[in-house]
Structure formats: structure tokens, C-alpha cells
Amino acid sequence: MGSDRGKGVALDGAGNIYVAGHTTSYAFPTTTGAYRTTVANFGGAGWVVKYSATDYKIVYSTYVANVVGINALAVDSAGNAYTTGEANFNSELRTTADATKSTVVRTDGQDSWAAKLNPSGTGLLYGTYFGGSDDETSAAIAIDSDSSIYITGNTFSTNLPLALNPAQGAHGDGARNRDAYVTQFVEPPWFDSAHIANAASFRGGAIAHGEIITIYGFSLGPKKLRTYNLTNGKFDTTLARTRVLFDGVEAPIIYASWG
């Protein structure tokens, strides 16, 4: 017994239908092999159901997490499903190792959260809480071509985590009223010393002062290659939100791309 509420609907590139919502029922139907077929400490849970584009049969049905609320859904062309909502210290979202925030403590009040499910609905690709030391809500979620996740909502917190050069660097009205926020989550970059090479010879090894190098990896820049900008005759040190630092010193960037 309980109530089920739909909170979002979306299509993937093949026309499959996705619905997300929240339930207070212990008996919400899930499919075999789904990411989560049960949730512990039940106080209400978020769910996602995928329907086939050809016959509208259920492809998968899964819980996302035991959370206070789920408010929005987005799906990319590959069929990854993205959801967002609210959670508190009793909630149980299985955050991933690259989460911005892995837990909600009692003194945080209510936090926002975001989660990404794989196309088969069998696994969590990304899960994080987001918030400061006061209450947050999350109202909408979107994704871009670089696989970045965006959520928006409002907050009472004056210590919300901020990115580099934010448009607004402080709560607009102290903690007396809610303030809106927009947050972007990006895939964490990866490379190692074996993937750094001279840009002309493509040979690795020690780096010399003034040498032009190429760094290979993933999530190092935008999916579509961006070339340099010049300011006062010099290469900029930030390009498409990408920076490279050597012992804290920013290097000029000639081009940036995802790989």
C-alpha cells in the first residue's frame, strides 16, 4: 500500500520511453537484474522505469534510492538515465567514488542529489549528494554533449560548494531566504605520466622548460576540439574550462579536447 507519483518523462535516441517518480509503497514492481530491487530503511524511494519504443513493454524497472523526493529526469541518446531530487540523513543513495559529497549528516538538513543509471538499468554510473550546511532542493536536471550533468534548485546554505569564477560567489540574502543555484558535474579527468609526449616527436620522457607537449587521457576537455585563444599576443591558460598546472603554475594551452 502507498502512493506512486510520476515526476518526469523522457525519450532516448531510439525512442524508448523513460518515466521517473517517487513511491511510498513497499511493493513497487521491479524487474529481475535491475540495479535495485529493494531499498533499506524505507521512507519513500525514487524509481525509474524504461518502456520499449516498439511494443511499450517494460524493459527495466528499478529503485534509484531511498530518498525524500525525486523531481526530474533526463535521458541521453545512449539511454543513460539521470535523476535528481532531495535527501536527508536517513536517505540511502549509493554514491560513487567520484561523488562531490558522499553522505548527508543530520546537521545538513536536506541536500540535493543526482544519479546516473546505465542504459540497461542494471548499474549506477554516478551518484552524489550536493549541498551545504542548510537545506537544498533540486527542481530540474539536464545534460550536455560533453556528458556534463546540470541540476538547479534553491538553497538556504551560505557555504554551498562553488566552482571557479562563479557568476555569484555568495548567498544573495544571507541565510534568511532561499537563493537559486545551478551546478554542473563533469566526468573527472584522467591521465598519467605514460600519456604525456612531445607534441612533435610523440615520444615520452622528461619534460623540458618551454617544450610543447600533448597530454592524452579522457575527460580532459570538451568533446569537440577547441583551439587556442590569444590575449595580448599570448596563449590563454584556460580554454573550454580546461587548465594545466605545473607545480601550481598555469601553462598556456594550444588546444583542448576530451581525449
Q: What average pLDDT does this structure show over 159-175?
A: 80
Distance (Å, rounded) from C-alpha 242 to C-alpha 218? Answer: 12
The pLDDT value recorded for residue 191 is: 86
Q: What average pLDDT does this structure show over 157-174?
A: 82
In this structure, how many other beta carbons lie within 10 angstroms of the beta carbon of residue 96?
A: 14
**Parallel, antiparallel, or unpaired for β 136-143 and 249-250?**
unpaired
Question: 176-192, pLDDT tens digit by residue?
Answer: 688 999 999 987 788 88
Could you give the count of Cα atoms lying within 13 Å of 163 in the half-sphere of its Cβ? 13
% of the chain beyond a pLDDT of 70: 97
C-alpha cell at 205: 620522457
Q: What average pLDDT does this structure show over 229-244?
A: 92
Distance (Å, rounded) from C-alpha 8 to C-alpha 84? Answer: 10
Q: Select from 243, 244, 245, 240 the least CA-distant residue to 257.
A: 240
Map out the domains of the chain as residue ranges. 4-185, 189-259
The pLDDT value recorded for residue 175 is: 57
Stretch (H or E) spanning 58: strand 58-66
The pLDDT value recorded for residue 189 is: 81
The pLDDT value recorded for residue 61 is: 98
Distance (Å, rounded) from C-alpha 84 to C-alpha 91? Answer: 13
Q: Name the pLDDT band for 174 (thresholds 50, 70, 90).
A: low
Distance (Å, rounded) from C-alpha 198 to C-alpha 255? Answer: 14
Looking at residue 213, its amino acid is I
Question: 5-36, pLDDT tens digit by residue?
Answer: 999 999 999 999 999 999 988 889 999 999 99
Q: Select from 123, 93, 95 the least CA-distant residue to 33.
A: 123
Whether 102 and 75 have beta carbons less than 8 Å apart is answered as no
Distance (Å, rounded) from C-alpha 19 to C-alpha 40? Answer: 22
Whether 116 and 133 have beta carbons less than 8 Å apart is answered as no
Q: Select from 100, 259, 97, 96 the least CA-distant residue to 191.
A: 259
Distance (Å, rounded) from C-alpha 126 to C-alpha 114? Answer: 8
The pLDDT value recorded for residue 127 is: 96
Question: 39-96, pLDDT tens digit by residue?
Answer: 876 678 999 999 999 999 999 999 999 999 999 999 998 999 999 999 999 999 999 9
Which alpha helices (DSSP H) does 69-138 contain, by range? none
Whether 113 and 67 have beta carbons less than 8 Å apart is answered as yes
Distance (Å, rounded) from C-alpha 240 to C-alpha 161? Answer: 21
CB neighbours of 57 closer than 8 A, spacing ≥ 6? 51
Q: Name the pLDDT band for 1 (thresholds 50, 70, 90).
A: low
* Res 172 pLDDT > 90: no
* Res 232 pLDDT > 80: yes
Q: Name the pLDDT band for 116 (thresholds 50, 70, 90).
A: very high
Whole-model pTM: value is 0.80
C-alpha cell at 62: 528499478
Question: 213-228, pLDDT tens digit by residue?
Answer: 999 988 888 888 999 9
